[in-house]
Structure 1
Amino acid sequence: MTLQQLRYIVAVVTCGSISEAAKQLFITQPSLSNSIKELEKEMGISIFNRSPKGIALSSDGREFLSYARQVLEQAQLLEQHYTGRPPAKRICSISTQHYAFAVNAFANVVSRQNIDEYEFTLRETRTYEIIDDVKNCRSELGILYMNHFNRKVLKKLFTENGLVFHTLFHADPHIFISCFHPLSHKKSVSIEDLEPYPFLAFEQGENNSFYFSEEILSTVPRKKVIYVSDRATLFNLLIGLNGYTICSGILNRNLNGDTITAVPLNTEESMEIGWLSNPKLHLSQFALKYLDELKRLIQ
């Protein structure tokens, strides 16, 4: 086993495929595949499960990846101490539902990085993909919510995939609407108040189950519904169509401006927002700092 082979494993996981990793590593795909197979044979495990749809980390592979990353980090520290080389490019990936506070925390931590090179990824993505990213170590952690409606289904998925959910905070549901919306002056609104207006929600792709919805009360019948894939489009439609969405109520003026406001929603529902981890994955210093910044912003 060599350090280079460990770097190959990390690169394949980060890129999501052998072909893309080979391009980034500037080696041929057969060479990369052979190197991985030799390592698997030496370790006596299958690091990746292979199928016509591609590759994914096996259960043994997830554990191996955690050790590989720790070994590579220690090797880098050793090289820096004795050779005086600059720190290696820092890499970290985080997956999240569409929360402004998650983006704000990410921006704050990145801006404090006193290094010349880094490669960070922030995925605002679908609920099922967040779970899959953390399961397969494409992301170190995932930000999502649970409530009484989806809790049983999500917890079952977490358990089946060996993941752990950590609570960050509980939130009373609000609606996001334009500051010029007819309901913006109200101290609170009901579902009935919202009936004339378009409901905006994040689409969930192939796993379009109510249990994976980012918005609570997803099963409530509505006459007007628009599904979007990103926050910018959603906010534009909130303004352009007098639409609304249901959320945690946390806004960041620096990122969202003053054109969107949050109004409490009259409901007995609540949201438990937290972060998802894979116990087999050793969290990087950046991921730990990100969690600290999330907690600071929420307070």
Structure 2
Amino acid sequence: MTLQQLKYVIGVSEIGSLNKAAEILYVSQPSLTTAIKDIENEFNVKLFNRSSKGISLTNEGKEFVQHARQIYAQYESLLDDFDPSKKRKEKFAVSCQHFSFCVKSFINLVNKYKKNNSSAEYEFAISETRTLTVIEDVANMRSEIGILNLSNFNRSHILKVLKSNELEFNSLVFCKTYVYLWKKHPLAKKEFITFDELKEYPVLMFDQNAMSSLYFTEEIFADREFPKVIKTTDRATNLNLMVGVNAYCLCSGIISNELNGNDFVAVPFMDSENSDKAMEIGYITKKNVVLSKAANDYLEELKKYLAR
């Protein structure tokens, strides 16, 4: 097995087509096919399923590519760190559920680097995305850190998925449930809000893909029946719907007004049936992986923000 072969396998897995992968990787299709077959023979595994619709990873292939990404990422890291002709560029990526405090902490990280060394070079990335994608990004080392929440409903399932992907969950904070809504919403000035009071208004939930399990839902009461539901994919749309149709979100109450503005409020949620429910927000990492300086700096900014 060679690093070049690993690069080819990773490329084909991402592109889903041998023809297109050969073009992008600047290699002939026969050479690409041979490289894949050589690895399959060496490890006695079948990496890809082939059909008229294209090429896709087998279950064994998915596991193999996870390891291949780690190996190739370490190789690229060595090149970046020890190539004397290059000025070292700090790299970091984080994937998260739809939390404004994650973005605010990311902004603080960038500003910290700008303040400490304005000439410093870096390549940072942040992705607000679905729960399963957060997990997959960290498992496949597209992101160093993933931010997500656990609840009584999803905890055992999520932890099982993390374990199977050799990931660790590190707790950051426990949060009570809040109703997040427009400041002119009929319920906005209440001391607390009950489930019955919310029934006539649509709840906003982030779409997790029709194929995803209910356990990947971000919202804390995923196991409860809501009479009116609107699914979205981003926070900006949520804010617009809060104003336009008096919709609401159930959230942690940790809101960045600097990003979302001051036209929204978080009111404590009170419900006798779910009085013991709380969400635990934390970050996930690959087991036995040493985090980069930028990753540790980001976690420091995140912890400072959550401690406010």
Task: Specify if TM > 0.5.
Answer: yes
**Secondary structure, counterpart of 1:226 in structure 2:** strand
Q: In the aligned structure 2, how far is the partner of 1:252 from the partner of 1:31? A: 53
Shift of 1:247: 0.6
The correspondence for 2:128, drawn from 120, 124, 127, is 124
- Indicate if the aligned counterparts of 1:8 and 1:36 stay in contact, CA closer than 8 A: no
Label 1:38 to 1:50 Cα distance change in 2 as closer, same or farther (>3 A). Answer: closer
Q: Who is 1:289 aligned against?
A: 297
Unpaired runs of 5+ residues, structure 2, are none
Q: In the aligned structure 1, how far is the partner of 2:6 from the partner of 2:166? A: 24
TM-score, L = length of structure 1:
0.82
For structure 1, which segment, 209-218 or 111-120, has the greater mean C-alpha deviation from structure 2 after superposition? 111-120
Q: Who is 1:252 aligned against?
A: 256
**Secondary structure, counterpart of 2:243 in structure 1:** helix
- Indicate if the aligned counterparts of 1:96 and 1:142 stay in contact, CA closer than 8 A: yes
- Indicate if the aligned counterparts of 1:46 and 1:58 stay in contact, CA closer than 8 A: no
Q: Who is 2:102 aligned against?
A: 102
For structure 1, which segment, 256-265 or 32-41, has the greater mean C-alpha deviation from structure 2 after superposition? 32-41
Q: In the aligned structure 1, how far is the partner of 2:163 from the partner of 2:156? A: 11
Shift of 1:258: 0.5
**Counterpart residue identity of residue 86, structure 1:** K
- RMSD in angstroms over aligned alpha carbons? 3.3
- Indicate if the aligned counterparts of 1:66 and 1:281 stay in contact, CA closer than 8 A: no
- Indicate if the aligned counterparts of 1:16 and 1:138 stay in contact, CA closer than 8 A: no
Q: In the aligned structure 2, how far is the partner of 1:182 from the partner of 1:115? A: 50
Unpaired runs of 5+ residues, structure 1, are none
Q: In the aligned structure 1, how far is the partner of 2:119 from the partner of 2:269? A: 44
- Indicate if the aligned counterparts of 1:92 and 1:287 stay in contact, CA closer than 8 A: yes
Q: Who is 2:284 aligned against?
A: 276
Q: In the aligned structure 2, how far is the partner of 1:283 from the partner of 1:259? A: 37
1:1-299, aligned counterparts within 5 Å? Answer: 5=4, 8=7, 12=11, 16-17=14-15, 27-28=26-27, 30=29, 33=32, 37=36, 40=39, 44-45=42-43, 49-52=47-50, 53-55=55-57, 58-80=62-84, 83=85, 85-88=86-89, 90-113=90-113, 114=118, 118-266=122-270, 267-279=275-287, 281-299=289-307
- Indicate if the aligned counterparts of 1:10 and 1:65 stay in contact, CA closer than 8 A: no
- Indicate if the aligned counterparts of 1:96 and 1:125 stay in contact, CA closer than 8 A: yes
Q: In the aligned structure 1, how far is the partner of 2:278 from the partner of 2:193? A: 15
- Indicate if the aligned counterparts of 1:18 and 1:33 stay in contact, CA closer than 8 A: no
After superposition, give the CA deviation of every residue in 1:144-183 in whole Å (9 maximum; x if it has no partner): 1111111121122222222211111111111110011111
- Indicate if the aligned counterparts of 1:10 and 1:69 stay in contact, CA closer than 8 A: no
**Secondary structure, counterpart of 1:223 in structure 2:** coil
How many percent identity over aligned positions?
33
TM-score, L = length of structure 2:
0.80
Label 1:35 to 1:133 Cα distance change in 2 as closer, same or farther (>3 A). Answer: farther
